[in-house]
Structure 1
Amino acid sequence: MSYSIIDTSPLDPVAKPLIDALQYEYSTRYREFRRDSDTSAAEELARYPAELFAPPEGAFLVIVRDGETVAGGAFKRYDAHTAELKRIWTHAAVRRQGLARRVVEELEARALRQGYRRVYLTTGFKQPEAWGLYTDTGYAPLFDRAIAPEIHVHLPFAKDLLDPLAVHTLEDLRPRAPLGLQR
């Protein structure tokens, strides 16, 4: 099967399957932790204006295979040297085929071309597949793994794109307390 990588916007109809599936996934995974998980998921996906995911400071891409959107992701500016990954997704029917890894690699390459040195992200405590993806692609966990993930709520990870083995360059991104306890 062949696929195409398309640079686009979250407002483009080709991105709709990604947005809709993420909303469903967030809503169902976190239903027991959020009073109105459907509304909460919709609000999370609408939290950032589409222009934040456009060059020169951001990017949004999808992977289309045989005419169907099967994966995608985005980044936006976090700080002058750091891009923040958002909306990484793979269609449930094609997971475990390397598509999420490809999305991350493509976003990292765009981030480097756009002048970023590092990438930061948070993922949810109910998304162990995402933790595995980021760990396997060289991201350092910036949270205390001895504390239960649900205390953190959001699990931060980061990577130095110029020196992927360097962790000292990421220290300013490390939260002082679990993100779930910060106000």
Structure 2
Amino acid sequence: MPDVMIAEEPPRQPEVLRLLEMSDAFAASLYPAESNHLVDVSTLEQPGVLFLVARFGEAVVGCCALVEAGDGTAEIKRMFVDPNARGLKVGKRLLQTIERHGETLGLDMIRLETGIHQPEAIGLYTSAGYVERPPFGSYQPDPLSLFMEKALRVPADLDR
């Protein structure tokens, strides 16, 4: 039986684009357009963006991006797992891989925005140590959004 493999890959490939379209449709089914904070493929191809693809055998079953903010933080974007692959712990493995990359990059904090109607995503992030926080960056308060973060490093002044 094949194992799930996660690697950095370009987002502009047919199976990944299909997954991103599934993600778009899922988000649109839960939230109005103004509450969907999705980034497009060209944004995922920019410098400072790490894009990971999860494969089960040859099939693309999940993806996520880590977008550096330039201030020691980065944001998780486009985290999505094909519904047919749920139960393989793809989301958990993608999150762990993103965090390892964040540590390697020397990031202090990883942040994210997710929707309040996604209990599985909220549970994943909470179980991994993410905590709620106010909106960050260019986000505005939105009753349908939940903002979270996780410190990767203890600030030097607290590490005593």
Q: Please state which band the TM-score falls in when normalised by the shorter chain.
A: 0.7 to 0.9
Among 31, 40, 44, which residue is 1:50 paired with? 44
Alpha-carbon distance between aligned partners in 1 of 2:115 and 2:52, rounded to the nearest angstrom: 21
Alpha-carbon distance between aligned partners in 1 of 2:18 and 2:41, rounded to the nearest angstrom: 18
Alpha-carbon distance between aligned partners in 1 of 2:128 and 2:119, rounded to the nearest angstrom: 14
Q: Greater share of helix residues, 1 or 2?
A: 1
Alpha-carbon distance between aligned partners in 2 of 1:88 and 1:44, rounded to the nearest angstrom: 10
Structure 1 letter corresponding to 2:40: A
TM-score under structure 1 normalisation?
0.71
Residue 46 and residue 64 in structure 1: after superposition, are their counterparts in 2 closer, same or farther (change >3 A)? Answer: same
Map of 2:137 onto structure 1: none
1:8 counterpart = 2:9:
yes
Map of 2:21 onto structure 1: 20
Q: Give the deviation of 1:80 after TM superposition.
A: 1.5
Greater relative CO, 1 or 2 (CA 8 Å, sep 6+)? 2
Secondary structure of 1:49's aligned partner: helix
Residue 66 and residue 156 in structure 1: after superposition, are their counterparts in 2 closer, same or farther (change >3 A)? Answer: same
Give yes or no for contact 2:92–2:124 (8 Å, CA) kept in 1.
Answer: yes
Paired residues, number: 149
Map of 2:138 onto structure 1: none
Aligned-pair identity in percent equals 25
Residue 104 and residue 114 in structure 1: after superposition, are their counterparts in 2 closer, same or farther (change >3 A)? Answer: same
Q: What pairs with 1:94-173 in structure 2 (closer than 5 Å)?
A: 94-142=85-133, 152-163=143-154
Alpha-carbon distance between aligned partners in 1 of 2:63 and 2:18, rounded to the nearest angstrom: 10
Alpha-carbon distance between aligned partners in 1 of 2:114 and 2:24, rounded to the nearest angstrom: 14
Q: Give the deviation of 1:40 after TM superposition.
A: 8.4
Alpha-carbon distance between aligned partners in 2 of 1:98 and 1:47, rounded to the nearest angstrom: 25
Alpha-carbon distance between aligned partners in 2 of 1:20 and 1:123, rounded to the nearest angstrom: 17
Secondary structure of 2:121's aligned partner: helix
Give yes or no for contact 1:125–1:155 (8 Å, CA) kept in 2.
Answer: yes
Structure 1 letter corresponding to 2:103: L
Aligned Cα root-mean-square deviation (Å): 2.6
Structure 2 letter corresponding to 1:84: E
Give yes or no for contact 1:72–1:103 (8 Å, CA) kept in 2.
Answer: yes
Q: What pairs with 1:83-98 in structure 2 (closer than 5 Å)?
A: 83-98=74-89
Q: Give the deviation of 1:48 after TM superposition.
A: 6.2
